[in-house]
Amino acid sequence: MTREELIDLVLEKTNSYEDYPFNDNNTHETILWTAIRQRKDKKIIALIFEKDDDLLIDLKLTPEHGDEVREYDGVFPGYHMNKTHWNTVRVNNTSLPFEGLVKMIEESDKLTK
């Protein structure tokens, strides 16, 4: 999956828009962060980024569901996020089924409303 396809998937499954709040000319940040935000209150549903040639996505889950999906290869506590509620998925390097990723996106959407 490409970055653009992942962005499109999250936008398709949620009532959201893409934003780039962490990337400006005055930052030392070298990672391009795409924030997918709720239209209503601008809360972040997902963060999409690439690091070390991996396409990654941060999603918010219940602690129980987070523990469950972390059993899959390529799913781990959120990168730069609250480790209890946020989880990172290596999109192209995980044993998590595609349907599991979609479920995570939908849950993150519900939890951030």
pLDDT in tens, 38-63: 999 999 999 999 998 999 999 999 99
pLDDT digits (tens, 9 = 90+) for 57-84: 999 999 999 999 999 999 999 988 889 9
* CA angle at 111 for the pair 39 and 21, rounded to the nearest 5°: 45
CA pair distance 101, 46, nearest whole angstrom: 12
Give helix 3-13 / helix 98-111 axis angle, nearest 10°.
Answer: 50
The DSSP symbol for 50 reads E
Beta bridge partners of 87: 59, 77
Question: Is the per-residue pLDDT at 30 higher than 80?
Answer: no
pTM for the whole thing?
A: 0.92
CA pair distance 37, 68, nearest whole angstrom: 25
| CA-only gyration radius of the chain, Å | 13
% of the chain beyond a pLDDT of 90: 82
Question: Is the per-residue pLDDT at 25 higher than 80?
Answer: no
